[in-house]
Structure 1
Amino acid sequence: MEQEPSIQLSLEQQFNLRAFEEQIKGITLEQAQVLLSDLHRQLLVREAYFKHFIRQNLLGDPSPGID
């Protein structure tokens, strides 16, 4: 696993993390698998948005749409 960079979460992010941890304490294995799959999909979508933003705004690529 990659080592995370030394970036601190904001107080709001820390609060949201704690709330999420409390929320998932009692879920089943099946619910956890669905949640993990959904989170992974969201990370992939976020990555696609970042790539699109970089291509359009920093590299001047006029291609429409998000991969």
Structure 2
Amino acid sequence: MNDANKLTLEQEFKLAIYTKKVYRLSNKNIKMYLIETLKQMMIKDNIIKYFIKNSMS
């Protein structure tokens, strides 16, 4: 695996904490948080694309 695709030790720790929290949630809450997370990831992608596009000018 490429080093750029690996998680740092801190990220792995955070992932373990979030994994424990997710397993405690109900299905309804999991779906709600998943949709919100996907939305935030799309917004982040849009912001990155915007800055890349505008940095070329």
Same fold (TM over 0.5): yes
Secondary structure class of the residue paired with 1:20: helix
Unmatched tracts of structure 1, length 5 or more: 61-67
| 1:31 corresponding residue in structure 2 | 29
Q: Counting helix residues as a fraction of each chain, which structure ranks higher?
A: 2
CA distance in 2, matches of 1:45, 1:36: 14
Q: Give the number of the structure whose alpha-carbon radius of gyration is greater.
A: 1
Q: TM-score, normalised by structure 1?
A: 0.75
- What fraction of aligned residue pairs are identical, expressed as a percent? 20
The list of structure 1 runs, each at least 4 consecutive aligned residues, that deviate by more than 6 angstroms after superposition, is none
Please list, as runs of the form range in 1=range in 2, the aligned pairs for 1:41-52 lying within 5 A after superposition.
Answer: 41-52=39-50
TM-score normalized by the length of structure 2: 0.87
Given candidates 12, 15, 18, the residue that maps to 1:17 is: 15
Length, aligned pairs only: 55
Question: Greater relative contact order: 1 or 2 (C-alpha under 8 angstroms, separation 6 or more)?
Answer: 1
